[in-house]
Chain A
Amino acid sequence: MSIAVTVKNILKTYGKKKELVTALQDINFDVKTGELFGIIGPDGAGKTSLFRILTTLLLADSGTATVDGFDVVTDYKQIRKRVGYMPGKFSLYPDLTVQENLAFFATIFNTSIDENYDLIKDIYIQIEPFKDRKAGKLSGGMKQKLALSCALIHRPSVLFLDEPTTGVDAVSRKEFWEMLKRLKEQGITILVSTAYMDEASLCDRVALMQDGNIMSIDTPAQIVANFGRTLWAVRSGNMLHLLDELNTMKEVENAYPSGTFHHVILKKGYTDAFLQQALSETNNNLEIKAIRPNIEDCFMQLMRR
């Protein structure tokens, strides 16, 4: 399988001596052609800096990177012709209509809406009834669909989506990921960043990022398999009290709330039998079960290293 993106020893800093911020520290990874690759991490992890370097909009301090075989520094013009980029901030022309924006992006890439309509049809058809509306007057969800259509209209080989689902509700997020799946089937390589950990499972492979570092790169299933510890889900009639109690126990390595349960990792040598015994007197309706960790559990465990 061929490689669409390579990143080698990329370092990026901002500011000078005293206020030096390291946005990316020695980043390395490859993305295969046709892969749906997720960069998962909170704000400030370095996701946007990385995307801007790969789309040739920002220069790294050191290291090399290629997109579609082209170097991001020397061959930037080639890359700009081949990639689609949807920035985190809405960046279309608010005073042009929906159709004018799309026609504008088609024209600057020397193509036409008709030529590549099949690629965007599924997405564009949803905003077509509003094609004469100014882009600035669209709702959040419609802006997102227009931005994606504009990023696709020149049939890019690699698509970069920087936090496309931030601030988007759970229903629209699901729909957006379904659109991505269909684009992937068309053979487009997709790099997508998100702060929502639950979206990791929808990617072929993910890089978990924090503070300018990649903590782990793997398939979502393998990241979960690498968790390496037993994770216990615990609940009782008084969750707040239960959490305080868990956090004072020296046998507990980590305990934190996660929806309806608290997730608990015990120090080596301890099992649910210990929890049952330790908690049953002070808690009513106690329930303890071993569960499969999710990506957020894995992320938190990696953060502790």
Chain B
Amino acid sequence: MSAGRNIRGAPIYATSTEPPAEGELYRTLEIEGVTLDIFYGYYDPERERGVLEPMPIFPDFQNDPTYTELGYMLVNADGDVCEHFSPKAEGSEEGWCNDCRYLELHDTCLGVCRCEQNRKNE
């Protein structure tokens, strides 16, 4: 569930500015038959613990590939682009999946890759 919309009308997924507790449930995502519980924590526990507020910890789909019922790949929006990358806007600054026009974002750092070449064949 989004926490409202940003100034361009896109849903805001992040919650309030109060720091959440580690291990607290951020949200449950349901994407084409795949259910994901996302919890707060630290990505780099050794370095980040005690530094500041924890963040939603998204699954690492690069190491644990996950596909929807329709065969589309779940991706981390901050992950490196693949060979089928097609920028959604000119002059994309970072080589992230977030810059790819095939990415359908479902949360700040998680989405579905709608590229047919990455689709899992049944």
Same complex origin of A and B: no
